[in-house]
Chain A
Amino acid sequence: MSIGAAETLPFSSGGLGFLDGAPSPEGGAGPIAARSPRQLFWRRFRQDRVALASLAFIVLLVVLAVAAPLIVNLLGLPGPNVANANLTNAFGAPLGPSRAHPFGVDQLGQDVMSRVIYGARVSLLVGVFGTAIATVIGVFIGVVAGYRRGWLDTLLSRLIDVVLAIPILLLGLGLGAACAVRGCVKGLVQPGLGSIIFIIVLANWTYVARIVRGLVLSLREREFVEASRALGASHSRIMRREILPNLLAPIVVYSTLLIPANILLEAALSFLGVGIRPPTVSWGQMIAQATPIFNTAWWCIVFPGIALLATVLAFNLLGDGLQDALSPRAAR
């Protein structure tokens, strides 16, 4: 994932324009009622058709993931791991889309549509969960560094520099390969899903920490924080009451935009052979397995790829929508 992806995010330059609130859009006669930033946000979000559509898609995806067995059953498809040697020809090449198997089958005769549906589980789990953990850690470190300043800040910033200098994919490869079979960190990080989430957390906390640190730095100097301090509020109170609530919005937007990048990271790692292991199904792994035969068995690659594309796109659009709803001045 490009550095650009991370740094194009709305608040990286410390822009907290949304805090100033936008002028009330009401026109016409009658008293003008003040609206809180939150209400304004919802209003704008609700008007954004594209963002709503992506949200709907994501909800659908979640439903698919959670109810996968039910849905596969309803559609009359075999399970994702039901191998059927009769569905490959004498040379082992799989059969294409047909009535019984709308997306065709793979080299083992497993139904591709069924596997695509089950694959949603991994992508969502890894993307959302991994990002969430990375965000929590990143926020914690960012707040500590930004608020405390001093040597702790310097140390943490330098640490972030070091981690950012290592290419993520290579790091992921090394860790993934090392943690295969038995896991690492004394079994805390299990191979497969566990190691992927571990790698995602390792790779992402730095971005979050950096952004949050920047935000906290500018927040500290704000009038309302100064006012609180003048009133004698303790540091933790300031943290809780003034700083954290104002971080909420940018963090939510930011992590929503990180999710798709992480879904792609998992797919890339699975593609390179160090990700999810069978019998768990992941879209990246499906593409990896289909790469040797994509020439003749295009269905094995196209469908998981489209699923990935659609999911990532939906999250990207959602994130864009959230960002626009929060600070309408920018970009739109």
Chain B
Amino acid sequence: MTSYIVRRLLWGVVLLVLVSALTFLLFRVLPTGEPARLRAGRFASPKVIAEIRNDLGLNKPLIVQFWLYMKGIFLHLNLGYSYYSSASVRSLIADRLPATLSLTIGAAVIWLGAGITVGVISAVRRRSKLDRASMGWALALISAPEYWLGLIVLYLFAADIGKLKVFPGAGSYVGLTSDPWGWFTSLILPWLVLAATNAAIYARLIRGSMIEVMGEDYIRTARAKGLSERRVVLRHGLRSAINPVMTILGLDIGVLLGGAILVETVFDIPGIGRLNYDAITHSDFPIVQGTVLLAALFIIVANIVVDIAYAYLDPRVRFS
């Protein structure tokens, strides 16, 4: 078991380095802009631009630049500095992480709850009107573009510009520590939008999984033993049915932690996704690399956790 964990962790680290290298390469070979020129501003003479290029280390061969970058990360946890402000990438990311965390975890709680509930009920009451209706809604929600849903929701419910002024609108995010109630209310709409699409997916997934599980023999046995239907469904059925969900949950959260850029954009939440978007459009490579690295880290960690969980549950996996 230990050797499996170690192997997975090692591969995770290698993966991180590879992803980093790939991003590095991608953004240097296909730059979105010219960082030295952007930083130098207007009226800068070519010699000033050249000096800035030099200062930013852009003249060294790619390999050397990458090596220095990797050294910085592994030895000092230093992710570099933004090309435009003197802020360190690490501090910028640390600044934005809480917002993304709030958004992701909150939404995940909602979509899990809603998804599981709807999925179980639909599975148990298969082919009923309730089942059809909820699966229909689920499909509709999956099919709608997130950002469009967000805009519609704002149009209807935002306190400042909506028709029914229920929840705070875009741009009202405040940190949890500075104003807990404000934090909570400002996130309700974004949570709902983010959770909506995902809840739908999970509902369908649970439904399918439950249907399969409920047809198994041991369920029949449990019923024959005289257990209450609720116990059968929840204790025995759901417990098995939930497996595939766990895999995907880990990955989904991992992906979102890297920045739910569309929702963050529509609701003006200062998270990692927006940070990344701004950095990409302004060719602020260090930030781009830092955020991509972080996002990849989350995804890889999620993968590892899921893999290890499976290995724990299923010995065959360990030896593959």
Task: Tell me whether A and B are bound partners.
Answer: yes
- Whether a CB of chain A sits under 8 angstroms from the CB of B155 is yes
- Whether a CB of chain B sits under 8 angstroms from the CB of A331 is yes
Task: Identify the closest chain B residue to A302 (Cβ).
Answer: B152
Given A166-B23, A305-B144, the answer on whether A2 and B262 have CB atoms closer than 8 Å is no
> Which of B142, B202, B265, B291 has the most chain A CB atoms closer than 10 A to its own CB?
B142
> Which of A165, A175, A267 has the most chain B CB atoms closer than 10 A to its own CB?
A165
Which B residues touch A4, using CB under 8 A? 198, 201-202, 205, 248, 251-252
Task: Identify the closest chain B residue to A12 (Cβ).
Answer: B244
- Whether a CB of chain B sits under 8 angstroms from the CB of A56 is no
Within 8 A of B (CB), among A154-185: 161-162, 164-167, 169-171, 173-175, 177-179, 184
Tally of contact residues, A, Cβ under 8 A? 47
Q: How far is A260 from B197 in the complex, measured between Cα atoms in Å?
A: 14
Task: Identify the closest chain B residue to A178 (Cβ).
Answer: B30
Cβ 8 A contact of B258, one of A167, A177, A273, A284: A167
- Chain B positions 115 through 156: 1 when the CB is less than 8 Å from some CB of chain A, otherwise 0: 000000000000000000000000110111111100110010
Given A264-B145, A268-B262, the answer on whether A166 and B277 have CB atoms closer than 8 Å is no
Which A residues touch B296, using CB under 8 A? 165-167
Instruction: Verify A162–B202 contact, CB threshold 8 A.
Output: no
Q: How far is A266 from B129 in the complex, measured between Cα atoms in Å?
A: 34
How far apart are B7's CB and chain A's nearest CB, in angstroms? 13
> Which of A5, A174, A268, A317 has the most chain B CB atoms closer than 10 A to its own CB?
A174
How far apart are A16's CB and chain B's nearest CB, in angstroms? 15
Instruction: Verify B252–A291 contact, CB threshold 8 A.
Output: no
Which B residues touch A162, using CB under 8 A? 15, 18-19, 22
Grouping DSSP codes into helix (H, G, I), strand (E, B) and loop, the B interface class, with mixed when no group exceeds half, is: helix
Instruction: Verify B143–A301 contact, CB threshold 8 A.
Output: no
Which B residues touch A295, using CB under 8 A? 155, 161
How far apart are B38's CB and chain A's nearest CB, in angstroms? 13
Instruction: Verify B32–A294 contact, CB threshold 8 A.
Output: no
Interface-located stretch among B47-55, B72-80, B207-215, B224-232: B207-215
Q: How far is A7 from B23 in the complex, measured between Cα atoms in Å?
A: 25
Q: How far is A331 from B33 in the complex, measured between Cα atoms in Å?
A: 49
Number of A-B contacts (CB under 8 A): 148
Cβ 8 A contact of B259, one of A164, A167, A171, A273: A167
How far apart are A149's CB and chain B's nearest CB, in angstroms? 12
Q: How far is A166 from B291 in the complex, measured between Cα atoms in Å?
A: 10
Interface-located stretch among A77-85, A228-236, A307-315: A307-315
Which A residues touch B252, using CB under 8 A? 2-4
Given A8-B248, A170-B292, A271-B147, the answer on whether A2 and B198 have CB atoms closer than 8 Å is yes
Given A3-B251, A8-B201, the answer on whether A174 and B145 have CB atoms closer than 8 Å is no
Q: How far is A177 from B30 in the complex, measured between Cα atoms in Å?
A: 9
Given A8-B201, A8-B248, A166-B19, the answer on whether A308 and B147 have CB atoms closer than 8 Å is no
Q: How far is A309 from B148 in the complex, measured between Cα atoms in Å?
A: 10
Cβ 8 A contact of A313, one of B19, B139, B248: B139
Which A residues touch B280, using CB under 8 A? 170, 173-174, 177
Instruction: Verify A178–B32 contact, CB threshold 8 A.
Output: yes
Which B residues touch A317, using CB under 8 A? 139
Instruction: Verify B201–A2 contact, CB threshold 8 A.
Output: yes
- Chain B positions 167 through 211: 1 when the CB is less than 8 Å from some CB of chain A, otherwise 0: 000000000000000000000000000000110011011011001
- Chain B positions 271 through 305: 1 when the CB is less than 8 Å from some CB of chain A, otherwise 0: 00000110011000000100110011001100000
Cβ 8 A contact of B295, one of A3, A167, A313: A167
Tally of contact residues, B, Cβ under 8 A? 56
- Whether a CB of chain B sits under 8 angstroms from the CB of A258 is no
Cβ 8 A contact of A175, one of B30, B139, B143, B204: B30
How far apart are B246's CB and chain A's nearest CB, in angstroms? 11
- Whether a CB of chain A sits under 8 angstroms from the CB of B261 is yes
Q: How far is A317 from B295 in the complex, measured between Cα atoms in Å?
A: 32
Which B residues touch A171, using CB under 8 A? 26
Which B residues touch A301, using CB under 8 A? 148, 151-152, 155
Instruction: Verify B248–A7 contact, CB threshold 8 A.
Output: yes
- Whether a CB of chain B sits under 8 angstroms from the CB of A287 is yes
> Which of B139, B201, B280 has the most chain A CB atoms closer than 10 A to its own CB?
B280
How far apart are A168's CB and chain B's nearest CB, in angstroms? 9
How far apart are B110's CB and chain A's nearest CB, in angstroms? 15
Which B residues touch A298, using CB under 8 A? 155
The 8 closest A-B pairs by CB, nearest first: A178-B30, A312-B143, A177-B32, A313-B143, A3-B251, A4-B248, A305-B148, A331-B208
Apart from A162-B19, A317-B139: 11 A-B pairs, beta carbons within 8 A: A169-B262, A170-B292, A173-B281, A174-B27, A178-B31, A184-B30, A294-B151, A294-B155, A309-B143, A312-B142, A313-B140
Q: Would you give 19 A-B contacts (Cβ < 8 Å), ordered by A?
A: A2-B197, A4-B251, A4-B252, A7-B251, A8-B205, A162-B15, A167-B295, A170-B295, A174-B26, A174-B27, A174-B30, A174-B288, A264-B145, A287-B145, A291-B151, A301-B152, A305-B152, A308-B148, A331-B208
